[in-house]
């Protein structure tokens, strides 16, 4: 199993932005120094839920100040990006990082209408924009004298420069919040990122994912490669004892949930808009499903349950809500020193999708 840090830091007040952004760079460098496999970056605008806001700029900064760790997006909201500009930026970061980039793509947020309004994008167009943009990016990376006439973009260019460091292009992975989206990736023989689910749902989806790939005619080698490069999200906190972990992590997790819910409530009160209404309690809001918290032994025991499901990697948020950087740093160090050695890591890089 591979292990990664999903750098998803909240800045609850604008005056915290500078501090949180710089602490998050330190957190990424720490994970590189400690030998973690990967860093993942989010994209959220105008609400402080993700302090650095733009994963493209932040990935470039991380590529320049780290040496070996992979850097990916979980995810870039492609409805908000011009695909040729994005393809150029990805090629540049792929060159700066010498091939350490994983381009994680998604349609866009299902919760924050401000993201779309701030960029003048109709959220109803988000999925179609994602599909068209991804096709444009791949062709721009791999062909010359490229022309495209589509629903959202009409494009003509002689050659995209710089060419990607990774051949034929950087690895691409999609986020799948629902089962149907996951099945689409299975039919295409592609890896995916799974949002927070209960262990039971995680197992059901991974079993169905493998089954669907085989039924779609993909080889066992493709199935194994896709599973190895599929990542599952959990929040993680490690302390010397279970009691200490709960004392430090649970209030931070609860404050994070309250902060996010308050923003969505504000949007609804202002505009009467909800992009998505949860059909029942979501796993990401329930600590028993969303967070693995405890001593190194407890955390290792819980992660072993996910290892038994056969997933490629854990996409983990260590710093939650208003948690001080030093507290998150201690958790990361304990995790890398006392939890990771319990698991055999393959270290195999994500193949280009």
268 located within any domain: yes
348 located within any domain: no
User: What are the angstrom distances between the C-alpha of 184 and each of 128, 177, 194, 228, 265?
Assistant: 14, 12, 13, 18, 32
352 located within any domain: no
347 located within any domain: no
Exposure string over 116-145, b if 16+ CB within 10 A, otherwise e: bbeeebebebbeebbebbbebbbbbbeeee
Length of the chain as a residue count:
353
Place of tokens 């997006």: 73
Supply the CATH number for residue 289's domain: 3.20.20.30
Q: Quick one: tokens of 257?
A: 């949930």
As a whole number of angstroms, the distance between CA 248 and CA 297 comes to 17
353 located within any domain: no
Pick the closest to residue 14 from 58, 65, 56, 48 (CA basis): 48
351 located within any domain: no
Instruction: Tell me the residue ranges of DSSP E strands in 309-352.
Output: 313-317
pLDDT, tens digit only, all 353 positions of the chain: 999 999 999 999 999 999 999 999 999 999 999 999 999 999 999 999 999 999 999 999 999 999 999 999 999 999 999 999 999 999 999 999 999 999 999 998 877 888 999 999 999 999 999 999 999 999 999 999 999 999 999 999 999 999 999 999 999 999 998 999 999 999 999 999 999 999 999 999 999 999 999 999 999 999 999 999 999 999 999 999 999 999 999 999 999 999 988 877 887 788 777 677 665 678 888 999 999 999 999 999 999 999 999 999 999 999 999 999 999 999 999 999 999 999 964 444 444 44
What domain range includes position 112? 2-342
53 located within any domain: yes
Cis peptide before 189 (omega within 30 of 0): no
User: What are the angstrom distances between the C-alpha of 259 and each of 120, 162, 263, 279?
Assistant: 25, 41, 7, 21
**Span between the terminal Cα atoms of the chain, in Å:** 20
pLDDT in tens, 171-189: 999 999 899 999 999 999 9
Q: What's the number of domains the chain is made of?
A: 1
Angle between helices 199-215 and 296-309 (to 10 degrees): 30
């Amino acid at each position: 199993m591979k292990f990664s840090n999903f750098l998803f830091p909240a800045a609850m007040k604008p005056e915290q932005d500078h501090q949180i952004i710089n602490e998050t760079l330190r957190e990424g460098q720490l994970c590189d120094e400690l030998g973690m496999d990967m860093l993942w970056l989010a994209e959220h605008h105008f609400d402080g839920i993700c302090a650095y806001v733009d994963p493209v700029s932040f990935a470039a900064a991380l590529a320049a100040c780290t040496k070996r760790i992979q850097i990916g997006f979980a995810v870039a909201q492609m409805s908000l990006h011009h695909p040729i500009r994005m393809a150029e930026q990805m090629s540049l970061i792929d060159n700066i990082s010498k091939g350490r980039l994983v381009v994680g793509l998604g349609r866009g947020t299902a919760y924050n209408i401000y993201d779309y309004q701030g960029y003048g994008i109709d959220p109803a167009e988000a999925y179609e924009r994602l599909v068209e943009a991804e096709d444009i990016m791949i062709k721009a990376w791999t062909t010359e004298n490229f022309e495209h006439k589509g629903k959202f973009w009409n494009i003509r260019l002689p050659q995209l420069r710089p060419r990607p460091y990774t051949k034929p292009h950087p690895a691409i992975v999609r986020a799948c919040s629902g089962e149907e989206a996951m099945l689409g990736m299975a039919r295409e023989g592609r890896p995916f990122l799974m949002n927070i689910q209960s262990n039971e749902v995680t197992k059901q989806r991974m079993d169905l994912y493998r089954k669907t790939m085989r039924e779609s005619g993909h080889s066992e080698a493709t199935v194994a490669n896709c599973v190895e490069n599929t990542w599952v999200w959990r929040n993680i906190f490690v302390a010397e004892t279970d009691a200490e972990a709960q004392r430090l992590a649970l209030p931070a997790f609860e404050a994070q949930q309250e902060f996010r819910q308050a923003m969505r409530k504000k949007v609804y009160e202002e505009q009467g808009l909800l992009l998505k209404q949860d059909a029942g309690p979501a796993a990401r809001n329930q600590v028993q499903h969303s967070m693995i918290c405890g001593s190194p032994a407890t955390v290792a025991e819980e992660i072993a349950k996910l290892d038994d499901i056969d997933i490629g990697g854990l996409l983990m948020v260590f710093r939650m809500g208003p948690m001080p950087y030093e507290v998150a740093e201690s958790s990361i160090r304990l995790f890398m020193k006392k939890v990771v050695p319990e698991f055999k890591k393959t270290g195999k890089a994500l193949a280009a999708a």
